[in-house]
Amino acid sequence: MNQEFLEVALPEMAGIYFNAFLLLAAIIAGALVYRSTSPFKLELFFLSFFILGCNIHERLTFAIPGVSFFEIQPDRFLFLLFSFFVFRHLVFPTKEVQLRFGWNMPWFKILIYLYALLVIASQVYHADQIGVPELITNAIYAINFLLMMYCVRVMANKETLRIIGMSLIIGAVMTSVVAIIQFTLDPMFLRVGDQRIAFGSTLRSNGLFNNEYLHSYYIIITLAWVLITFRNDWRKHALYGLFALGVLFSFQRMSWLILILVSAIYFTQIERIAWSKLIATGLAGIAILIVVFLSFRYEIMNSTLVRQRLSEPVNSRAGYYATAIGNVGKKPIFGFGGKDNETYYYSMLRITHDRDRATGITGDFHSGYFSTMFFYGLLAFLAFTAFIIAAIIYFGGLIKSSLVFAIPFLVALLFGVGNLTNTFLLPEYLSLLYAMHMGIGQRLRELDIASNGQHPLLNMSTRNHLWELSKQ
């Protein structure tokens, strides 16, 4: 009787916690926007709520009556919101918003337009296979990325950056705290997604996200803001330590690598910390890892991480990548369109022996690059790869003119490296965060050119200028 009660009561209690969290996120977003002087309060409220809600806000998904194939999800709501934003300001232009569609644009922007066009073309070509509903939704995803990048660029000013930055920081603090609780006290605390083993019977921490890598990359994106815009005081050090724990408890190897990469670039190339301090810190970190490994050696060596990823090469990601490369010659222009085809089915069934993987219910190629190559064709793969490289080079080259460009640079670097072993294409939550930062970066470049590098947002002599509430 007690077991039956728990089976019913626990999901209901979890639902109460999730709803309470969403209410808290809405209150925080409202407070940030209410204190703002921005003319874009409606758009910024929903943008802030989208950032703060992490993946919990997927509970707000609802179906449109009479339209079975198209649900209103948080990212699709943003598509509708920013589509109306563009339409409203095209028909009724205001002084605050000047919509410009010029030809003078950086290469990475041209390449992402080309990539989105090739994705849509691939879906149109395979419409008979994937169906019209999926064609429409995939086209919306591609356009939504471009809309997000464009509209954030249009809205970007000090208030917009403050609200986006504060939303990320608050969200990263919350998901880090939840991750620590999941790892140390209750593995099911506010868990909304995967239940993957870290070692022994210990689960990887997802924080407030569906999986551990979204949780980790969200934190690292926020860490870029903290490193660049905070002064070197206790707050910066405390947030860095908290975020590092949040990433560590995810037990996601690529996020560990990216955290080290971002930290190394910042401390050696931007902050230029003395090498003696860096070496001492590195040695201390290695010592801690050795102690952890020796303390949990048996659990680690017998964990899923080791047994499946290192001991079973037939089930490794190399098999996925070989599938994409080996079949690209069959449909080089528009790819295979999606997962609903015999080539994908039999390849995944041979590699994984898992019917859910073969039918596309779970999993993919575990690489944005190889997914693009297989699903959308060789041209889309080249455009996607060139877009990522061009964005990294573009914002990396601007750091000399202003340190603030290190934020979009580090985010672009994370996106490029993360896509090596995970799939972050246009429908993904992380891709929309990336689009926001590409829009912010473009606007900062426009301010840089217009003010000859003298705009307050570009002047890092006052590191906390971004967090001041005074009017621009």
In a domain, 363, yes or no: no
Domain-located, residue 301: no
- pLDDT at position 351 is 83
350, 404, 426, 337: which is closest to 113 by C-alpha? 426
The pLDDT tens digits for 290-345 are 766 666 666 556 655 555 555 444 446 778 888 888 888 899 999 998 888 888 88
- Choose between 176 and 7: higher pLDDT: 176
Domain that holds residue 393: 63-273+376-467
In a domain, 364, yes or no: no
Q: What is the pLDDT of residues 102-155, one digit of tens each?
A: 667 889 999 999 999 999 999 999 998 888 888 888 899 999 999 999 999 999
Q: Is residue 304 part of a domain?
A: no
Between residues 214 and 71, which one has the greater pLDDT? 214
pLDDT, residue 296, reads 60
pLDDT of residue 366: 84
224 found inside a domain: yes
Residue 106 lies in a domain: yes
Give the pLDDT score at 145. 94
Question: For 49-97, how does the pLDDT look when each residue is reduced to its tens digit (9 = 90+)?
Answer: 999 999 998 888 766 666 555 677 888 899 999 999 999 888 877 776 6
- Structural domain count of the chain: 1
In a domain, 347, yes or no: no
Nearest 5°: phi and psi at 273?
Answer: -70, 150
Is residue 288 situated within a structural domain? no
